Structure formats: structure tokens, C-alpha cells
Structure 1
Amino acid sequence: MKKTLILITIIALAACKSPEARYPVIQKSGSHISESIAKNQELLEKEVAQIEAVIAADSTREYQSSPDGFWYTYNKKNKDTANTLKPEFGDVVSFDYSIKTLDGQVIYAEGEKATRTYAIDQEKLFSGLRQGLKLMQEGETITFLFPSYKAYGYYGDKNKIGTNWPLQTKVTLNKIIEKEENQNQR
């Protein structure tokens, strides 16, 4: 009995060993991320070259580069110097737009999409258009040239716009309702 008690004590003491950390069998090197970055940089360079070719071919208009990563030109500019209001966070805008590929193939024609009402930076809208609307004044029409990452990106619109398509978007800003006015109407 004494031997059994000693054996049980030895087994109990051996079982109280502290746990050891298990290390992963496979360790990731991060090379997938590096490859993805390189691929995206290459895609952007290609799209910027396409956009620059469109700009070079259109000698009738003056294009401006946005610090947000897209280009634009005025089709109709507001010449009323008294009205310089541009939409800000929370303002509600009403606008119409059409979308084409960079080579001019119509994706969504003018009037095909209903007039859109949008609360600036408070609703879902692709990033280039969201930023482009903030550059506009009431009554202006601007054509934007967006690289795919500023448009619908990798996923497209799951309808007519495919993966990684740079786009031309013509936008007419119909009306701006300032945030204060918008709250008073409720």
C-alpha cells in the first residue's frame, strides 16, 4: 500500500508541470501582401496612363488633377460669383449622372439612372463621386475620370461595371440643401 501511495504521489507531481506554448507548424512570411501591393501599384500605373491618354486626346478641355486621386473637367461652370456654395458634411444634394468607360462606351446613359438625392458623407456612394460632389456648385456639370480604386474597385457594381474598371462619370449638381435647412424641413 505504501508503494502505491508513493507511486500516486509521483504521478500527481509529474502531472503538475506548467503548460508549454505550442508554436505554429507553418509561419507566414507576408509575401502575399507584398505581391498584392506590387500588383495594385502596377494596375494603378496602367490606369493612370489610360487616363492621361484620354486627357491628351481631348484638346478642347482643360483637366484638373484632384489631390484625392482623380481628374476632372468642367462641362458647365457656375459663373455666378455670389453663389460659391459647395456641399459639406450633412448637406443634401440632388444630382444626375452618367457613366462611361474611358474609351467612351456608355455603361449608364444620361437619364438611365434616376436623379439621386444624397446626404454628403452620410450615405453609401463610391469614393470618387463622394469626393467629386464636394468640388461642385449648384448648376455645374463636371466630367470626372476615376481610376478603378476611386470608382467601383475590385467588385464592380455587380451589374454592368466589371472588376477594376476606370470610369468617366459626368455629373450635374442640381440642388444643394444646406444641413440647417435640411433639419428645419423635418
Structure 2
Amino acid sequence: MRILIALVFIVSIVGCKSPEARYPVSQNSGSYIDESVERNKEMIAQEEDYIKQVMGKNTDTEYLNSADGFWYYYNNKSTDSTNTRTPEFGDIVVFDYTISSIEGEPIYAEGEKPTREYAMDKEKLFTGLRQGLKLMKTGETVTFLFPSHKAFGYYGDQEKIGSNEPITAKVTLHEIKEESNQEPKN
């Protein structure tokens, strides 16, 4: 019996040892991520150069450069001095838009995309369009030129827009409704 008690005592002392950290069998240097970052920087630079070439061919249009990394021009700019409000977080905006390739080939023509109600920054919408709407006032129509990372990126829209495709979006903002306590529509 003493042997059994001694054995239990020894096992309990040895069993209370804290666990040791397991180390990985191999370690990655992170070079794959570094290479991917470089490829993406090159791709973005090429897209931006191409967009600038396309803009250079249209000398009649005054392009504006956004701080968010895309270009735009006004098709219809509000001249009403009382119309100064732009959408803010949570506001509901009502808008129509068309999407074309950078060269102007229609991808989603007028009427193909329904009029959309969108709760600013509370629903899903591709990055460039979300940022572009914040520049607009009620009644304005603006054409945006988005590099692919501001549009649908690597995945495209999984319908008509391919991977890493820069696009042009012509947007008409019909209405800005101030934020309310109602649930946004999807």
C-alpha cells in the first residue's frame, strides 16, 4: 500500500509540470508576402498610367483627382448655392449608376442596375462608389474612373466585371435623406 501511495505522489508531482511551447518545424521568411505587395504596387501603377492615358485623349473634359485614389468629372454639377449638403455617415442616398470599361464599353447599361437606396457606410458597396458618393450633392451626375482596387478588385463582381478590371461609373444622386432610426435596406 505504501508503494501505491508513493507512486501516486510521484505521478502527481510529475503531472503538474507546465506545458512546453511547441516550435514550428519550418519558418517562413515572409518573402511571398513581400513579393505579392510588390506585384500589387506594380499593377496599381500600370492601371493608373493607363487611366491617365485615357484621360489624356479626352482633352475637353476637366478631370479632378480625388484624395482617395480615383478621378472624376461632373456631367451635371449643382449651381444652386443652397444645395451644399453631401452625404454623411448613416444618411440614406438614392442614386442610379451605370458601369463601363475605362475605354467606355458598357458593362451595366442605363436601367440594368435598379435605382438604389444606400445607407452611407452601413451597407456593402464597392469602395470607390462609396467614397465617390460622399463628394456629390443632390441632383448631380458625376463620372468616376476607378482603378480595380477601388472597384471590384481581384474577385470582380462575379458576373460581368473581371478580375483586376478598372472601371468607369456614371452616377446620378437623386436624394439625400438624413439619418433616421429606420433599418437600412439591402
Q: TM-score, normalised by structure 2?
A: 0.87
C-alpha change, 1:99 and 1:15, in structure 2 (3 Å) is: closer
Counterpart of 2:154 in 1: which secondary structure? coil
For 1:135 and 1:174, locate their aligned partners in 2 and report how far apart those are by CA, in whole Å: 14
- Matched residue count: 183
Which runs of 5 or more structure 1 residues have no equivalent in the other structure? 1-8
C-alpha change, 1:53 and 1:13, in structure 2 (3 Å) is: same
What is the match of residue 47 of structure 1?
A: 47
Counterpart of 2:118 in 1: which secondary structure? strand
Q: CA RMSD in A?
A: 2.8
1:16-44, Cα deviation, whole Å (9 max, x unpaired): 87755432111011001101100100110
1:48-99, Cα deviation, whole Å (9 max, x unpaired): 0111011111111100110011110001100101111111111111101000
Counterpart of 1:154 in 2: which secondary structure? helix
Which runs of 5 or more structure 2 residues have no equivalent in the other structure? 1-8
For 2:11 and 2:180, locate their aligned partners in 1 and report how far apart those are by CA, in whole Å: 77
Q: Percent identity?
A: 57
Q: TM-score, normalised by structure 1?
A: 0.87
Q: 1:47–1:147: 8 Å Cα contact kept in structure 2?
A: yes
For 1:181 and 1:134, locate their aligned partners in 2 and report how far apart those are by CA, in whole Å: 21
Q: 1:100–1:107: 8 Å Cα contact kept in structure 2?
A: yes
For 1:37 and 1:30, locate their aligned partners in 2 and report how far apart those are by CA, in whole Å: 11
Structure number with bigger Rg: 1
C-alpha change, 1:21 and 1:149, in structure 2 (3 Å) is: same
What is the match of residue 64 of structure 2?
A: 64
Deviates more, 1:80-89 or 1:125-134: 80-89
Q: 1:92–1:182: 8 Å Cα contact kept in structure 2?
A: no
